[in-house]
Amino acid sequence: MLDKLQYLVSRTRRNHGLEHATIHVLSEKHKQFSAQGNSDFRGFHLNIYGDLSEEDVSSAVHEAHSRMKNGERHLAVHPNCGTVLLTTAALGVLASQSAFSLEQRRQRRPNMDFSVFFSGLPSAVLAGVLALIVSRPVGLAIQEKFTTDGDLQDMEVVRVRKIQPSVITRLFQLLLAPGKSLDVNAYHVETNG
């Protein structure tokens, strides 16, 4: 059972790395788009917001796979990954909350009130800013160590196919460009190995 779980986690991490590498390759060749994806042990979904063709995406997947197989493992890490965003949010909240808790303790107040809030606000903002500064390298390190893998091993791309955008994909479309027409295309990249 544990071996099966380790295998599924390894596959997911490698697919996550290939997802990021694909976005890196697309970014090298195209400038006017956004991408969002999610990976599992079977492959990954990739949502493209902007004017990229199915051939652009398929070509990028295969180039990313080839480059990673040829040693460009660094492509597995992406600065806009959810791991980095989650790390940033968590550290920012923890730092600010800690500053307020210290102020509450300093004032010997049993509960958070306006006095604690206004006295602690400058420290909480400073703590939040410091957390934002350190969170990016911490998030990248967490991503590299735990959520992606740049060594694809025997993994191969089975197929890249265009699929219907999900409701979540459409929601992101509205958030990225409210009131504007923004092309959105969704793809599923299936892998094995």
Tens digits of residue pLDDT in 4-26: 999 999 999 999 999 999 999 99
Rounded Cα–Cα distance for residues 22 and 78 (Å): 10
Predicted confidence (pLDDT) per residue in 138-153, tens digit: 999 999 999 999 999 9
Tell me the two tokens of residue 25: 């390759």
Rounded Cα–Cα distance for residues 53 and 25 (Å): 14
Q: Could you tell me the pLDDT band of residue 32, with boundaries at 50, 70 and 90?
A: confident
Give CA separation, 3 vs 7, 15, 54, 156, in Å.
Answer: 6, 18, 36, 21
Radius of gyration (C-alpha) of the chain in whole angstroms: 21
Provide the domain count of the chain.
Answer: 2
Task: Go through the chain and tell me how many residues it has.
Answer: 193
Of residues 21 and 1, the one with the higher pLDDT is 21
Same domain membership, residue 67 and residue 8: yes
Q: Could you tell me the pLDDT band of residue 70, with boundaries at 50, 70 and 90?
A: very high
Same domain membership, residue 89 and residue 69: no
**CA geometry: angle at 6 spanning 3 and 7, to 5°?**
85
Same domain membership, residue 71 and residue 91: no
pTM, 2 dp: 0.90
Same domain membership, residue 138 and residue 188: no
- 162: domain CATH number? 3.30.980.10
Q: How far is CA 74 from the centre of its chain?
A: 15
Predicted confidence (pLDDT) per residue in 165-185, tens digit: 998 888 878 887 676 677 899
Rounded Cα–Cα distance for residues 167 and 170 (Å): 5
- Average predicted confidence (pLDDT) for the chain: 94
Predicted confidence (pLDDT) per residue in 93-134, tens digit: 999 999 999 999 999 999 889 999 999 999 999 999 999 999
Tell me the two tokens of residue 3: 């071996």
Query: Is 88 within 8 Å of 135 (Cβ atoms)?
Result: yes
Q: How far is CA 153 from the centre of its chain?
A: 22
Same domain membership, residue 154 and residue 69: yes
Same domain membership, residue 140 and residue 54: no
Q: Could you list the residue range(s) of the whole structural domain that residue 15 is in? A: 2-77+148-192
